Structure 1
């Protein structure tokens, strides 16, 4: 099993993300508001945008109306910086608009303040 320390837990606050390297792969390490860590390929499935240049946000609810946006799932959605594609961090990086597509993901564990990515 290939594994690598990609950062320290103190480098990413809850609700933030950080680009890192896992071998030759550019990965995106995300920390949700509940403190859990996730890792994905740092590249949008649409046209390859670097997702670390985007943002972690929430999703709009069905109650939203034009000009009046209501959000849920704050800190659980990655938004692509180029075209706004949104991916669910907690659901294996599935695209919100098309759940059949998802970001390539990696397994993550934390040991002694080290965030370790592995296959």
Structure 2
């Protein structure tokens, strides 16, 4: 099993993300507001946009009516900078509009202050 330290816990505050490398692969490390870490390929599966140039945000619920927005999942949605595709960070990087599609992801564990990703 290949594994690598990609950053320290102090490098990313809750609700933030950062680019890193896993070997030669460009990866995106996300830390959700609850402090959990997640890792994905730093490339949108649509046309290859660098996801670290996008944003971590939330989503509106299905119960929102026109002109009314109910916001949820704050800091748990990754939005592509090019075309706005949205991925659920906590649900394996699944696309909100098509849950059958998801971002390639990595397993993550934290040991002390080290964030380690592995396959």
- Give the superposition deviation at 1:68: 3.1
Corresponding position: 1:114 with 2:114? yes
Q: Give the TM-score, by structure 1 length.
A: 0.96
Corresponding position: 1:105 with 2:105? yes
RMSD: 0.9
How far apart in 1 are the matches of 2:45 and 2:67? 29
Q: Give the TM-score, by structure 2 length.
A: 0.96
User: What residue is the counterpart of 1:61 in the other structure?
Assistant: 61
- Give the superposition deviation at 1:62: 1.8
Per-residue displacement from partner, 1:58-104 (whole Å, max 9, x unpaired)? Answer: 11112323443221011110000000000000110000000010000
After TM superposition, what 4+ stretches of structure 1 lie above 4 angstroms from structure 2? none
Gaps of at least 5 residues in structure 2 are none
1:1-119 correspondence to structure 2 within 5 Å: 1-119=1-119
How far apart in 2 are the matches of 1:89 and 1:113? 21
How far apart in 2 are the matches of 1:64 and 1:11? 36
Gaps of at least 5 residues in structure 1 are none
> How many residue pairs get matched?
119
How far apart in 2 are the matches of 1:73 and 1:47? 25
Q: Secondary structure at 1:103's aligned position in 2?
A: coil
How far apart in 2 are the matches of 1:41 and 1:14? 19
Q: Secondary structure at 2:90's aligned position in 1?
A: helix
Q: Secondary structure at 1:90's aligned position in 2?
A: coil
